[in-house]
A and B are shown apart, each in its own frame.
Chain A
Amino acid sequence: MSGLRSWLARRLLAGVAQTAAVVVLVFALTEALPGDAAVALAGDQPDPARIAAIRETMELDRPAAVRLLDWATGLLHGDLGTSLVSGRPVSTYVSDGFGPTLLLAALTLLLLVPVGVGLGVLAARHVGRWPDRVISSVTLGVYAVPEFALGTLLVTVFALRLGWFPPTAVGYGGDLSGHPAALVLPVLVLLSRPVCSLSRLVRAGMIDALAAPYTAQARRYGVGGARVLLAHALPNAVAPAAQQLARTVDWLLCGVIVVEALFVFPGLGTVLMNAVAERDVPVVQGLAVVFGVLTVVLNLGADLVARRLTPRAEVAA
């Protein structure tokens, strides 16, 4: 028991350290670069008044370390800073985009686990036969395809040729949950890569688990096939997959940005891309911290799930 507790304490500490590192990294990448940040941010036709305004808003005349400290203390109090372009607090940008992104992410996660695990179990049950071959080749192929290319093709076929779904989310405003048709293609595209990786991992884990002595023993006791599959083999097969969920989290966050850009979805990804285009550094920084903290938290969750599923295995990197 104390082993678990100390593991948990170490893991939480690592999470806190990672969060701090993310904050420093975000700051370093956007502000501590060589050259005059104000001139770079003013755009192609630098206007002296705009440069001066940027320098004042970002307090560029103060040393970088002091600015970092100020910014970090602000973050601790939930103050994400103020936009350079509109003067609105960054937190309003985050709350504007949060709803649609949460809807997209929740739907994707809700479907990801059953579809990914289901396909993996199905392939493992029929290993070497046609369902396995089809699932394995398709998941291997789609695994590496960028969302934007797949998404564009799906839009061309299902929105333009067949007219089943709207091509973008334009015109629905914030009320996306009332228009499920507009969500089908974005969720499908966002699911494509994580489902493939998850089902491949589950398939490999299931094949190992089904060949293990304990499943053979369970069969000898007369335990039914479905029970052996779902109650004995599956938990052991999912554990390595859960540890790999960290990579899936990274893909989902990247995917959200691309899918929102592709379908003109009014979420955090679109807010981020607009801020990047307008070189609105405080907004980009704020969103980067939000995304980074989310990654750290989700990774922590994935580790906890993996630990819970296989309590015996020491989770050593």
Chain B
Amino acid sequence: MSTPGPERRPGRTRVALALLIAGVPLALALLGPLFAGDPGPRATSFALGDGHWLGTDFVGRDVWRQILLGGRSVVVSALAATALAYLVALPVGLIAALTHRRWLEEALLRPLDVLLAVPSLLLILLVATVLAPGAPGLALLVALVNVPDAARIVRAAAAEAAARPAVEALRMQGESWWRMGVGYVGRSMLRTLAADAGVRLTGVLYLVSTAAFLGVGVAPDAADWAVMVDRNRTGLWVQPWAVVVPALLIVALTMGGNLLVDAVLGKGKPNAPRGKRI
């Protein structure tokens, strides 16, 4: 169905558009802290003008400076949580797919199914009731929530690759488990995993920022875009910029991120859902 020639052009413009949308918040998040400078003296809360070109926030800090500082935590937590989820899901999924012992597969995957039965945000809130997880704790929790689904996808991709004749040949040659599991199976499922990682990253971004908005894993006055949206809402009537700008940045980051993942990894095949096509 996909014809490489005529589809390359729209594909490229889609990538450019997505890069443009996601690029602004990403650049602000990663480079912002370098340009933030020193905190100025506190002004009155929710003031406009007076040297603060986006006004001040609920405790009188400069909103522009908070914006420069507030993206890094969102982006870094999301990246860390995605990486952590795969750190667990990869070995679990690979072992479950390659083992010939049925009980081992069951023992690895069944407990994870339980996690799937609880809504992800609820799981995070449950732990937050008893502990006060910091930013690393939140990343860990979000990673945990993502492990079951990621492990299933790894297992499915690995099982498909492990059923190929090439693996049988390797086994008959007496190759080590490591060379079969990581060298062949691991390599041949990279594309599926890259697509899944992209989709997962946008989901993780959603969870991390939503948890921060609800006050989990962040200090109440943290420089974090999601926290800014929450805390400055009381001044929405007087000083909307302290809410609108961080909210817009989060929308651009998640929206652009998803468009980018689709444009790069979907390879211009909008009507073929992942893993379908027989």
- A: residues with CB less than 8 A from B are 18, 21-22, 25-26, 29-31, 33, 37, 40-41, 127, 136-137, 140-150, 152-153, 155-156, 160, 167, 201, 203-204, 207-208, 249-250, 253-254, 257-258, 261, 272-273, 275-277, 279-281, 284-285, 288, 291-292, 295-296, 299
Question: For B126, B131, B237, B247, which residue has the most chain A Cβ atoms within 10 angstroms?
Answer: B126
Q: Is B210 an interface residue (CB 8 A)?
A: yes
Question: Which of B118, B128, B237 gathers the greatest number of chain A CB atoms within 10 Å?
Answer: B118
Q: What is the minimal beta-carbon distance from A60 to any residue of chain B, in angstroms?
A: 12
Given that A30-B130, A160-B236 are contacting pairs, would A250 and B114 also be in contact in the complex, using a CB cutoff of 8 Å? no
Contact B210 A144 (CB under 8 A): no
Binds A, one of B39-47, B81-89, B184-192, B256-264: B256-264
Do the beta carbons of A295 and B240 come within 8 Å of each other?
no
**When chains A and B are docked, how far (Å) is the Cα of A160 from the Cα of B233?**
12
Beta-carbon contact of A156 and B243 below 8 Å: yes
Question: Would you call B121 and A254 a contact (CB within 8 A)?
Answer: yes
Q: Could you tell me the dominant secondary structure of chain B's interface residues? A: helix
Say whether B271 contacts A33, CB under 8 Å. Answer: no
A25-B145 Cα distance, complex, nearest whole Å: 13
Q: List 10 A-B contacts (CB under 8 A).
A: A22-B118, A33-B130, A148-B209, A148-B226, A257-B122, A258-B210, A272-B125, A273-B214, A284-B129, A291-B118
* B271 shortest CB reach to chain A, Å: 5
Whether the Cβ atoms of A275 and B119 lie closer than 8 Å is no
Q: Is B115 an interface residue (CB 8 A)?
A: yes
Q: Quote the shortest CB–CB distance from B266 to chain A (angstroms).
A: 9
Contacts of B120 in A (CB 8 A): 250, 254
**Beta-carbon contacts of B2-21 to A below 8 Å, as 1s and 0s?**
00000000000000000000
Q: Which 8 A-B pairs have the closest CB atoms?
A: A144-B258, A254-B121, A21-B114, A144-B202, A149-B250, A253-B119, A141-B255, A144-B254
Q: Identify A203's interface contact among B202, B206, B271, CB under 8 A.
A: B271
**Which B residues lie within 8 Å of A40 (CB)?**
130-131
Contacts of A155 in B (CB 8 A): 236
> B121–A257 contact, CB under 8 A?
yes
Find out whether the CB atom of A140 lies under 8 angstroms from the CB atom of B236: no
A136 touches B270 (CB 8 A): yes
The answer to whether A142 touches B255 (Cβ under 8 A) is yes
Residues on B with beta carbons closer than 8 Å to the beta carbon of A253: 119, 121-122
Measured CB to CB, the closest approach of chain B to A161, in angstroms, equals: 9
**Closest Cβ of chain A: how far from B249's Cβ, in Å?**
9
Q: Are B122 and A291 in contact (CB under 8 A)?
A: yes
| Shortest beta-carbon distance from B120 to chain A in Å | 6
Could you give, for residues 191-228 of chain B, a 1 whenever the CB lies within 8 Å of some chain A CB and a 0 otherwise? 00000000000110110011001110000000000100
The smallest beta-carbon distance between A145 and chain B, in angstroms, is 5
Q: Report the bound CA distance from A298 to B205 in whole Å.
A: 26
Q: B residues bordering A, Cβ < 8 Å? A: 113-115, 117-123, 125-131, 202-203, 205-206, 209-210, 213-215, 226, 229-230, 233, 236-237, 240, 243-244, 247-248, 250-251, 254-255, 257-259, 262, 270-273, 276
- Interface residues of A, dominant DSSP: helix
Question: Across the interface, do A149 and B273 meet the contact criterion of CB distance under 8 Å?
Answer: no
- Given the known interface contacts A25-B114, A250-B120, the answer about A41 and B271 at a Cβ–Cβ threshold of 8 Å is no
Q: A21-B117, A204-B271, A284-B125 known; A149 and B247 CB under 8 Å?
A: yes
Picked from B122, B251, B258, B259, the residue with its CB within 8 Å of the CB of A149 is B251
Q: Which of B123, B129, B202, B206 has the most CB of A within 10 A?
A: B129
Contacting pair A292 B244 (CB below 8 A): no
Are A276 and B125 also in contact (CB < 8 A) when A146-B206, A149-B251 are? yes
Bound-state CA distance A155–B243 (Å) is 11
Residue numbers in A under 8 Å from B123 (CB-CB): 29
Q: Which residues of A contact B131 (CB under 8 A)?
A: 33, 40
Q: Which residues of B contact A22 (CB under 8 A)?
A: 114, 117-118
Assuming the contacts A26-B126, A149-B250, asked whether A288 and B210 have C-beta atoms less than 8 A apart, the reply is no
Q: How close is B21's CB to chain A, nearest CB, in angstroms?
A: 8
Contacts of B118 in A (CB 8 A): 22, 25-26, 288, 291-292, 295
Residues of chain B lying within 8 A (CB to CB) of residue A257: 121-122, 125, 214
Q: How far is the CA of A117 from the CA of B254 in the complex (A)?
A: 24
Residues of A within 8 A of B237 (CB): 160
Question: When A153-B244, A156-B240, A261-B214 are in contact, do A145 and B251 touch as well, CB less than 8 Å?
Answer: yes
Q: For the complex, what is the distance from the CA of A253 to the CA of B243, rounded to whole Å?
A: 25
The CA-CA distance from A40 to B215 in the complex, in Å, is 18
A30 contact set on B, CB distance < 8 A: 126-127, 129-130
Closest to A254 in B: B121
Structural contact, A148 and B230, CB atoms closer than 8 A: yes
Contact among A37, A142, A144 with B130 in the assembled complex (CB-CB below 8 Å) = A37
Chain B residues in 8 Å Cβ range of A150: 251
User: Shortest Cβ distance from A260 into chain B, in angstroms?
Assistant: 11
A280 vs B258: C-alpha distance when bound (angstroms): 37
| Chain B residues whose CB sits within 8 angstroms of the CB of A204 once the complex forms | 271-273, 276
* CB pair A288 B271 closer than 8 Å: no
- Contacting residues, chain B, for A254 (C-beta < 8 A): 119-122, 210
